[in-house]
Amino acid sequence: MSGKINIRRDTQDTFYRYKMPRLQGKIEGKGNGIKTVLPNIVDVSRALSRPPSYATKYFGYELGAQTKNDEKIEKFIVNGAHEVPKLQELLYDFIDRFVLCGDCKNPETDLIISKDKDQKIIRQCMACGKRTDVDMRHRLSTFIVKNPPPKDKKGGQHASASATSGGANGAGEGSDGGAAGSGGDGDDFDMLASGTAGLALSEGGDDDDWDVEVDTSAEAVAERQRKLAGGASGVLATGGGNNNNDDDDDDNGSTGDANGKDPYDELGDFITANASATDREIFEKAGALGLDKKHRALVVVIMCVFEDPSTLIKDIAKRDKLLMAFGDSDKHQRAIIGGFERVIEAHMDRLLGKTPLILKALYDEEIVEEEAFAEWGKKPSKKYVDKETAKQIHKAAEPFLRWLEEADEESDDDDEE
């Protein structure tokens, strides 16, 4: 069997000029640490002129599995045991959606990310000159917008040129990829959110901000409980609602609108008064209030949206797009954990024992990354709840944190073999 195959699966011509290596996969590990390593995904991706992280992430999204992309050592992994024929079919799907020209089906395309507010992804064909849109409903599209191709063509990876989508010709190929959030958002919610979701993970330096000293008196605790049970009035008082030390969340000294009402209060009141509001409507309201990039707004959203303990874990999977729309920086991810700490605090009798399941749901949906959980797990913090409650939540979270650590250790051991 030849090591090279046609890039297009619908072309059997032996002399077809565009070929790629046949995808390889190697299943390693066992138990929770079982994974599928992609030893030649770099060579395959080079033939497609796409970064190897794109195809690997596509596999993860389609299979509902976590992925690991380490371009420095060229290590690309999909968690779980996956057969190569299935991965090869998914690779063809990826090629159809993100590589082939939507008009002439030639694979000689560059990905261009438009500079307009929608940040559409366009395939610029070098053969026919046409520009065809990529399906922005697929979760990989958001990943590409946040992780554009290199700006040079080293290693055969095409550049992400600066252009608008005005010249795009034709619609993107491929079907609806990935289900839209069940919060009722439209198919273009990813495009709405992509402009704010691409905040790079911080390199640290905000540890002090993570463990801010707050008032833990009985009165303050009672006030937090009142806010959780009701609307979001003054919702951020305990975590530093007007904490001007947040370098990526500068309020420019403003804590309210022309009527003196705090925008965070307005957002909470809107969500509370509109229980059936879609993810898109909530995010648009946040944008209108200037909160669409604010990590503190996530606490308001979580407290108001995730109010039913009986459906909390399922709701996380349904509303993942809303949580990720505000950004994915270290502070955003920590605010998400903090928001759910508050929800657990409000329903300790029903949710404390489910803490590992709640955290794992955030991990499985790629809302919060392993590094953020590891940092959070180092010690209880008084930023979002009182110290005693934080200790209880951390103790309840131990099975999840231990599972993360053991899975990571197994992965490291496999890498050394």
Quick one: what percent of the chain has pLDDT higher than 90?
53
Model confidence over 268-310: pLDDT tens digits?
889 989 988 999 999 999 999 999 889 999 999 999 999 888 9
Model confidence over 12-30: pLDDT tens digits?
888 888 999 999 999 999 8
Give yes or no for residue 353 having a pLDDT over 90: yes
Distance between CA atoms of residues 42 and 51, nearest Å: 8
Residue range 224-233: mean pLDDT, rounded: 43
Model confidence over 43-60: pLDDT tens digits?
999 999 999 999 999 999
Distance between CA atoms of residues 297 and 336, nearest Å: 10
Range in 70-79, 237-246, 326-335 the model is least confident about: 237-246
Rounded to two decimals, the pTM is 0.48
Residue 188 is predicted with a pLDDT of: 52
Residue range 391-417: mean pLDDT, rounded: 76
What are the C-alpha distances in Å from 286 to residues 32, 201, 236, 295, 296?
Answer: 39, 22, 15, 11, 11
Token digits for 123?
Answer: 């395939």
- More confident site: 259 or 181: 259
Token digits for 382?
Answer: 């008084």
Kindly tell me the burial class for residue 322, based on how many C-beta atoms sit within 10 Å of its own C-beta (0-12, 13-18, 19 or more). Answer: buried
Count Cβ atoms below 10 Å from residue 110 Cβ, excluding itself: 19
Residue 414 is predicted with a pLDDT of: 52
What domains can be seen in the chain, in order of their start residue? 4-167 (3.30.30.170), 189-416 (1.25.40.180)
410: pLDDT confidence band, cut at 50, 70 and 90? low
- More confident site: 108 or 210: 108
> Mean pLDDT of all residues in the chain?
77
220: pLDDT confidence band, cut at 50, 70 and 90? low
Q: Are 77 and 60 in contact (CB under 8 A)?
A: no
Give yes or no for residue 207 having a pLDDT over 50: no
Residue 313 is predicted with a pLDDT of: 92
234: pLDDT confidence band, cut at 50, 70 and 90? very low
Model confidence over 73-107: pLDDT tens digits?
889 999 999 999 999 999 999 999 999 999 999 99
Residue 354 is predicted with a pLDDT of: 94
Residue range 222-249: mean pLDDT, rounded: 41
163: pLDDT confidence band, cut at 50, 70 and 90? very low
Give yes or no for residue 167 having a pLDDT over 60: no
Give yes or no for residue 195 having a pLDDT over 60: no
Residue 34 is predicted with a pLDDT of: 93
Residue 82 is predicted with a pLDDT of: 96
- More confident site: 223 or 182: 223
Range in 107-111, 180-184, 318-322 the model is least confident about: 180-184
Residue 117 is predicted with a pLDDT of: 79
Residue range 144-165: mean pLDDT, rounded: 55
